[in-house]
Structure 1
């Protein structure tokens, strides 16, 4: 299944359903990103150590999720998902982009980033998007079931390429040494 997901293929109706259930609305993006990170921190509280501002907020008795740093991080993550959705007809262009994000996460190993965190991120994306799909009243039962599976596959695709970049980076390997050029 992982080999198949490295080159995700879908039909036009699946791609249309994917785009129809995505929103570029700023507040929707923030809520989705927030749901993803809150899921991660609930399932794996140790992930909080990757973000130096969280302990500061908690030490002051403040809710880190209300801080500008959290908002920025939540939006950054969903902008990556948005980039994939916007390029769903040419996902091969996204492989290097996602791989590079994985490469950049090597720097967080010193803060405690562990390879198994990728699986938690994947679960978080899937859970947040499934909840979002369940809240969309315009979908039929069949469309909702189908789009949850499509989003699951997209989450797997994203994390698979990020994980590849991270794992290669930990070995000092970079399959895209000249950088990644994305043609919008």
Structure 2
């Protein structure tokens, strides 16, 4: 059946199902999960350094992203890696990734957590600090640092690096996608609330004027 022959309700249901499918997690096989888990054993001992390397690369790629972290110290345009704020933010980011690794057998369980994280980022957008292209920057910088770390490790075979990175991209892409969904939902809710406030501010004077006119008559 072509889209042209669908009724409006059928087309709407088709669209909703398509959107739902787009939001589903990548269906990792057991073998693919093992590859991710094996690579994580190599990465996990260096969590803090990983996070710091990722954030430093992000700031190099997007210097404007520094506005997201007003308490973070920078020395010669580079983040102070000894700063408690920098270490905290870097580790927290990697812990989100770690949560996905630990939930490989039930990734949808992470949805509420990632949705909430995205909604918190929505507040930064309202304050003019967040840009949507940061999502792809975070993803690409994470993949780059992961590849570099695995390649430099003697504990991970060179022949397996490419496959591992492909799978990590699937996982991190979906993590970002879930966070972004919460972010978009928060922005949408805020825009709706602002529109309602504007409507009230426009309608109240007209109501008062109408009441005044009727009273005079």
Q: Please confirm whether the aligned pair reaches a TM-score higher than 0.5, indicating the same fold.
A: yes
Counterpart-to-counterpart distance in 1, 2:77 and 2:134: 26
Q: Say how many residue pairs are matched.
A: 170
RMSD: 2.5
Residues 1:60 and 1:28: Cα distance change in structure 2 (over 3 Å): closer
What is the aligned counterpart of 1:116 among 114, 127, 133? Answer: 133
Q: Matches of 2:47 and 2:189 in 1, distance apart?
A: 34
* 1:69 to 2:85 alignment: yes
The CA deviation string for residues 60-100 of structure 1, in whole angstroms up to 9 with x for no partner, is: 99952220100000011011111110011111111222121
Mapped partners of 2:109, 2:63: distance in 1 = 34
d(CA) in 1 for partners of 2:31, 2:171:
15
1:105 is aligned to 2:121: yes
Aligned counterparts of 2:77 and 2:107: Cα–Cα separation in 1: 43
Tell me if the contact between 1:87 and 1:94 (Cα under 8 Å) persists in the aligned partners: yes
Q: List alignment gaps of at least 5 residues for structure 1.
A: 174-184
Q: Select the residue among 31, 35, 39 that pairs with 1:13.
A: 31
Q: Residue 152 of structure 1 is aligned with which of 144, 169, 173?
A: 169
Match of 1:176 in 2: none
Tell me if structure 2 keeps the 8 A contact 1:23–1:29: no
Give structure 2 stretches of 5+ with no counterpart: 1-18, 191-217
Distance 1:26 1:141 in 2: 18
CA distance in 2, matches of 1:50, 1:69: 12
Name which one, 1 or 2, has greater alpha-carbon Rg.
2
1:31 aligned onto 2:56:
no
Q: Which is richer in helix? A: 2
